[in-house]
């Protein structure tokens, strides 16, 4: 009888630890409230060069051409899209990147650029393998 009570007392804390509620971020490694905060040094203004990541599918290549203007949106923590500027496409870089110039507004990393039904993600620096 004593052994049984001791076993129960040893197993009970383990069960409580396993069943404790945990905070989980399904896709992101940080909560949305932190993800959408401004990071100093990531604002790109008129005249600056920006890089955009895209999927590399044929629809991107047939929709986006050098000289095109992309509207840039910022997605808020409430999932609302607000227009924050425009980017002019300069060229394709590799299979999945575009080089562009900020024409108006203040663009930040993780903003989304759109033309037609094609979207690109603004990144704050050129990918490592790209040469200036």
The pLDDT assigned to 20 comes to: 55
Residues 6+ apart with CB under 8 A from 103: 46, 69, 85, 86, 87, 88
What is the pTM (predicted TM-score) of this model? Answer: 0.65
Taking only the tens of pLDDT, the chain with its 132 residues reads 778 777 777 766 666 665 555 544 444 444 444 444 445 556 888 999 999 999 989 999 999 999 999 999 999 888 899 999 999 999 998 888 999 999 999 999 889 999 999 999 998 765 554 554
Confidence at residue 69, expressed as pLDDT on a 0 to 100 scale:
97
Domains of the chain: 43-123 (2.40.30)
Predicted local distance difference test score (pLDDT) of residue 4: 79
> What is the H or E stretch that residue 119 is in?
strand 118-123
pLDDT at position 129:
45
**Pairing status of strand 49-53 against strand 107-108:** unpaired
pLDDT at residue number 29: 41
Say what the pLDDT of residue 44 is: 86
């Amino acid at each position: 009888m004593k052994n049984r009570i001791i076993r129960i007392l040893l197993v009970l804390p383990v069960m409580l630890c396993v069943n404790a509620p945990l905070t989980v971020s399904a896709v992101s490694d940080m909560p949305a409230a932190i993800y959408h905060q401004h990071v100093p040094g990531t604002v790109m203004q008129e005249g600056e060069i920006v890089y955009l990541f895209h999927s590399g599918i044929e629809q991107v290549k047939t929709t986006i051409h050098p000289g095109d203007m992309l509207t840039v949106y910022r997605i808020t923590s409430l999932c609302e899209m607000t227009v924050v500027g425009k980017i002019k496409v300069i060229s394709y870089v590799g299979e999945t990147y575009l080089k562009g110039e900020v024409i108006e507004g203040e663009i930040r990393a993780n903003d989304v650029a759109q033309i037609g039904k094609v979207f690109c993600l603004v990144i704050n620096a050129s990918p490592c393998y790209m040469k200036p």
